[in-house]
């Protein structure tokens, strides 16, 4: 249950790692700076220079869950995580244009497989992608080091995030198809959008303003 009932305070859920690193400069532009250094602090809830806004730092896959339940009114999550989450119970009003990468299908070569075995962290996205092409793959859910799966003979294909493509190349894999271009989105809890409308709308408008100048670079 949400502990903040005053209609003004907002909690923003952000995932550790690249999204947090690239979100901090964006937040700084709208005057939100964590009072402790998130890289050093072990605290999971960080107060910021704006008393009405706090950050919670959690795992990327947990951001939509927190926001959907209203444990945080808003969050920053990669499009990959949102596509996999498949709930439709969140608002995604703004592309923040940060943490850009691609979700791709890769393998050792382009040779077709009748019923490919696909290793991935994204079983829902993978199933939907292949279904749209009339194929039904065998999906193997893994939690990391996807590139190893084809080399070890565990899978014919992988579906994974790619930034520069260097890890794929170094492991002798080639990109076969791009499923989606990925960047981080601002997500908002549906109830918060209504009940804390002014505060949420202000946050969206400010972030939209902070994103725009960069898009022109």
Partner 1 sequence: MPYDRWLLPEGVEEILPPEAGWLEALRRRVLDRLQAWGYELVAPPLVEHLEALLTGMGRDLDLQTFKLTDPRSGRLLGVRADMTPQVARIDAHRLHRDAPTRLCYIGTVLHSHAATPGGSRSPLQLGAELYGHDGVESDAEIICLMSDILTLAGVKPLCLDIGHIGIFRGLARKAGLDPDREMELFLLLQRKAAPEIMESARAWRLPASVRGMLLALTGLNGGGAVLGRARRQLRGAGAEVMHALEDLRRIAGLLKRRLPAVTLHIDLAELRGYHYHTGVMFAAYHPGEGQALAWGGRYDNIGRVFGRARPATGFSLDLLRLLRRRKPPRAAGRCILAPPAATDAALHEMIAALRRRGTRVIMDLPGRRNGADETGCTHRLVRRRGGWRVVKL
**Minimum Å distance from CB 192 to partner 1?**
8
- Contact code string over 27-46 relative to partner 1, x by CB under 8 A: --------------------
- Contact code string over 89-108 relative to partner 1, x by CB under 8 A: xxxxxxx-------------
Q: How far apart are CA 56 and CA 75, in angstroms?
A: 9
Binding partner 1 (rule: CB under 8 A), the pick from 59, 69, 115, 214 is 69
Task: Pick out residues in 182-211 that bind partner 1 (CB under 8 A).
Answer: 185, 188-197, 201
Question: What tokens were used for 138?
Answer: 């065998």
Residue showing tokens 């709208």? 30
Q: Is 171 in the site for partner 1 (CB under 8 A)?
A: no
- Please list the alpha-helical segments (H only) found in 1-134: 18-29, 63-69, 79-85, 123-132
Q: Is 71 in the site for partner 1 (CB under 8 A)?
A: yes
Q: Is 61 in the site for partner 1 (CB under 8 A)?
A: no
Q: Is 68 in the site for partner 1 (CB under 8 A)?
A: yes
Q: How far apart are CA 87 and CA 90, in angstroms?
A: 7
Looking at the Cβ atoms of 7 and 25, the one nearer to partner 1 is 7
Query: Residues near 207 by Cβ (< 8 Å), separated by ≥ 6?
Result: 26, 30, 94, 96, 186
Residue from 157, 161, 121, 125 nearest 142 by CA: 121
> What is the contact surface with partner 1 in residues (CB under 8 A)?
1-2, 5-7, 65, 68-71, 87-95, 185, 188-197, 201
């Amino acid at each position: 249950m949400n502990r903040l009932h005053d209609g003004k305070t907002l909690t923003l859920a952000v995932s550790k790692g690249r999204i947090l690193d690239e979100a901090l400069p964006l937040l700084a532009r709208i005057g939100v700076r964590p009072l402790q250094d998130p890289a050093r602090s072990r605290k999971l809830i960080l107060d910021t220079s704006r008393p009405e806004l706090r950050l919670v730092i959690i795992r990327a896959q947990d951001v939509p869950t927190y926001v959907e339940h209203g444990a945080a009114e808003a969050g920053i999550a990669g499009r990959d995580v949102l596509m996999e989450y498949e709930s439709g119970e969140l608002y995604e009003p703004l592309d923040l244009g940060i943490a850009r990468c691609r979700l791709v299908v890769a393998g050792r070569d382009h040779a077709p497989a009748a019923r490919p075995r696909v290793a991935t962290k994204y079983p829902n996205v993978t199933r939907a992608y292949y279904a749209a092409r009339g194929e039904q793959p065998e999906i193997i859910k893994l939690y990391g080091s996807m590139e190893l799966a084809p080399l070890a003979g565990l899978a014919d294909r992988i579906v994974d995030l790619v930034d520069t493509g260097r890890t794929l190349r170094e492991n002798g894999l080639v990109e076969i198809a791009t499923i989606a271009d990925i960047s981080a989105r601002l997500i908002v809890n549906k109830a918060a959008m209504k009940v804390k409308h002014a505060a949420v709308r202000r946050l969206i408008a400010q972030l939209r303003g902070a994103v725009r100048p960069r898009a022109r670079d």
